[in-house]
Structure 1
Amino acid sequence: MTTIVSMLRMKGHDVEVIGPDSFRTIPCPSYPEIPLALNPGGRFGKLAKAFRPNVLHIVTEGPVGWAAWRWARKHGVPFTTSYHTRFPEYVQARLGWGLKLAYALLRYFHNKAQGTLGATNSLREDLSARGFTRLVPWTRGVDLARFTPEPRRDWKTELGISGPVFIHVGRLAVEKNIEAFLSLDLPGTKVVVGDGPHRASLEKNFPQAIFTGRLEEGALAAAYAGGDVFVFPSLTDTFGLVVLEALSCGTPVAAYNVTGPKDILAGADGCVGAVNDDLRVACMQALNGDRAACRAHAERFTWEACADMFENTLVPF
């Protein structure tokens, strides 16, 4: 969203982002890195009145999102929403709750919008089957200048190994299903880039894996490019921006045959990875990936196209 906001401003739009940083917050239970706004309703109304928007888009279904939703409905303001995260599955993974009630709540939230933006065909098909309406396509993009095939980090020399390097990049949280990757019987070495609440547990349970912590900018791109296969074990993501970043760096992707990776990898000219219900099979197949084809496939996903799609779905009032 930071990228989209920047591109909208470059087009001449005046954009105001009202997020948790505009309110008093508390840490999200079991996920303290995420701030939750306390009682944002009254202040949201004042901020909206001062800005006087021509269009309103609600990004997430958190406390600020619900405050915007109530304000819009109270004042008869049409709005759009987007479905970024499978919150019902995340709640189930963390707390063991069922899906039915959570989906009913989200359906009530999104179906009041003039349109709900979803990143992939399979996600929109799934939401439609669950009773969501007015679903609109909205893909994602990748920074092709930042994520490049060269330079490549030489993991094999650095780690003193001869086998392939299977790499994962992302937030280390329970819902990301990283254990499924680290538990696989694979040749070579597993490298995990990133940080998060689940890191200590993963390091303890999988001491043979290499954990680098969070990497930024060029170091991150070089890490991606240095992998022989990028492994994406999540079962709950709605897209997977890291999949695009890996492809942009020329690294083939292995993933489960689920929403996000199966949509991104579809239609490639040449082998850019593999999806399979057996993640190990996908990993071994992805070793045959064509790095040039990976980069070429990533070049189909631009932030310019993403911003245009977003702009064209907005509803004036």
Structure 2
Amino acid sequence: MNIAIATDAWHPQISGVVTKLVHTAAALEALGHGVRLIHPNLFRTFPCPTYPQIRLALNPWKEVSRLLDRATPDAIHIATEGPIGLAARSYCKTRKLPFTTWYTTRFPEYVAMRFPIPAEWTYAGLRWFHSAATRVLVATEALKRELAERGFARVVVVPPGVDTERFHPRVKTFPDHFRPVLLYVGRVAIEKSIDDFLNLEVPGTKVVVGDGPDLNRLRRAFPNAIFLGPRTGEELARIYAEADVFVFPSRTDTFGLVLLEAIASGVPVAAYPVRGPLDVIRPGVTGVLDEDLARAVREALALDPQRCRTEALRWTWENSARAFLEHLEPLHRNPS
């Protein structure tokens, strides 16, 4: 099958959405399918308001149509609700072609944190966007139920995976006087509640990996923390493996692929008991979920790294890609 995937999230942006796209495309190709990604690097772009690290395609309508025509796909999937996603949706609607979508980000909550726009208004726009899809793909049963309660239809679950060959336990080399090493990896933005992590009164060294609009403010406010900026690949995997606990203070994630990367590295998680961690973490085995995040950190330190690793092995990108394929809708092009 030849699959076209339209996305507003792509390199050099570092995010869970980009990670999912990269690994899903690779797994699909390993299964013998062709993948054509339509992403912002193929267009003139402009910085996203309040988040300049994200670049959005400028007026992509005609070019998206041209790229989709040239791709001659057997199925079309729209990964995001930005300019490219909107253009791909319009292309499919105009030609009466079926398509699937992903719901991966709590965009309404993120908008409400930055602008005086009620989340329900944004949810109404997202319901409109996804209402035309034959299926809306989400990562968990909990998110499926939540969207159904908000009026979304035809929602199906496609669990993500984790690269357990790259992310695995390693010999820890940090000196003992730095320990315990408490790690956060992800976007450095207001919706991630990183202040909650950095304000914790717990012993050890706090390390933040990632980039985003809040990075400079946090560096000034918390000079005793270590801010490494964005890291990827083998370097990122080594950083994960050095940690003693992965601290995930976000209350707004739909899943949190970084949670899987942490436990695959043999690092237990401390997080709030909210969507995302509740769907990934096995309490007392791969992490501790508590409204008292400092207590979660202290208790997570006692967990067995090998049991974290064993749990992570259940999540594979091949299984994720096979589930993705099951829900694609083949195109039935009308004769011209």
TM-score normalised according to structure 2 size: 0.89
C-alpha change, 1:39 and 1:217, in structure 2 (3 Å) is: closer
CA contact (8 A) 1:152 1:222 kept: no
| Alpha-carbon displacement from aligned partner over 1:120-167 (angstroms, at most 9, x marks no partner) | 12211111111111111111111111011013342x44xx33x52211
The residue that corresponds to 1:101 in the other structure is 121
C-alpha separation in 2, matches of 1:43 and 1:88: 28
The residue that corresponds to 2:141 in the other structure is 121
The residue that corresponds to 1:241 in the other structure is 257
Q: Displacement of 1:258 after TM fit?
A: 1.2
SS of alignment partner, residue 3 of structure 1: helix
What is the one-letter code of the residue matched to 2:50? S
How big is the alpha-carbon RMSD for the aligned residues of Structure 1 and Structure 2? 1.5
SS of alignment partner, residue 4 of structure 1: helix
The residue that corresponds to 2:5 in the other structure is none
After TM superposition, the runs of 4+ consecutive aligned structure 1 residues lying more than 4 A away are none
| Alpha-carbon displacement from aligned partner over 1:215-259 (angstroms, at most 9, x marks no partner) | 333332222122111001111111111110110110000111111
SS of alignment partner, residue 184 of structure 2: strand
What is the one-letter code of the residue matched to 1:251? V
- Aligned residue runs from structure 1 range 169-248, under 5 A: 169-248=185-264
What is the one-letter code of the residue matched to 1:170? G
SS of alignment partner, residue 216 of structure 2: helix
C-alpha separation in 2, matches of 1:42 and 1:217: 35
CA contact (8 A) 1:271 1:288 kept: no
The residue that corresponds to 1:42 in the other structure is 62
What is the one-letter code of the residue matched to 2:239? A
The residue that corresponds to 1:303 in the other structure is 317
1:313 maps to which of 295, 312, 327: 327
C-alpha separation in 2, matches of 1:289 and 1:171: 26
| Alpha-carbon displacement from aligned partner over 1:165-195 (angstroms, at most 9, x marks no partner) | 2111122122211001111111222121222
What is the one-letter code of the residue matched to 1:107? R
Q: Displacement of 1:200 after TM fit?
A: 1.1
C-alpha separation in 2, matches of 1:153 and 1:241: 25
| Alpha-carbon displacement from aligned partner over 1:197-224 (angstroms, at most 9, x marks no partner) | 2111101111121222233333322221
C-alpha separation in 2, matches of 1:227 and 1:282: 15
TM-score normalised according to structure 1 size: 0.94
C-alpha separation in 1, matches of 2:300 and 2:202: 12
SS of alignment partner, residue 56 of structure 1: strand
C-alpha separation in 1, matches of 2:289 and 2:203: 19
Q: Displacement of 1:22 after TM fit?
A: 2.1
CA contact (8 A) 1:120 1:259 kept: no
C-alpha change, 1:214 and 1:25, in structure 2 (3 Å) is: closer
Q: Displacement of 1:30 after TM fit?
A: 1.2
Count of matched residue pairs: 311
C-alpha separation in 2, matches of 1:96 and 1:247: 37
CA contact (8 A) 1:152 1:223 kept: no
What is the one-letter code of the residue matched to 2:246? F
The residue that corresponds to 1:64 in the other structure is 84
C-alpha separation in 2, matches of 1:44 and 1:212: 36
Unaligned runs of 5+ in 1: none
The residue that corresponds to 2:281 in the other structure is 265
C-alpha change, 1:77 and 1:225, in structure 2 (3 Å) is: same
What is the one-letter code of the residue matched to 1:73? K
2:95 maps to which of 55, 75, 91: 75
C-alpha change, 1:60 and 1:200, in structure 2 (3 Å) is: same
C-alpha separation in 2, matches of 1:52 and 1:145: 34
CA contact (8 A) 1:166 1:188 kept: yes
Unaligned runs of 5+ in 2: 1-20, 332-336
CA contact (8 A) 1:233 1:256 kept: yes
Q: Displacement of 1:53 after TM fit?
A: 1.3
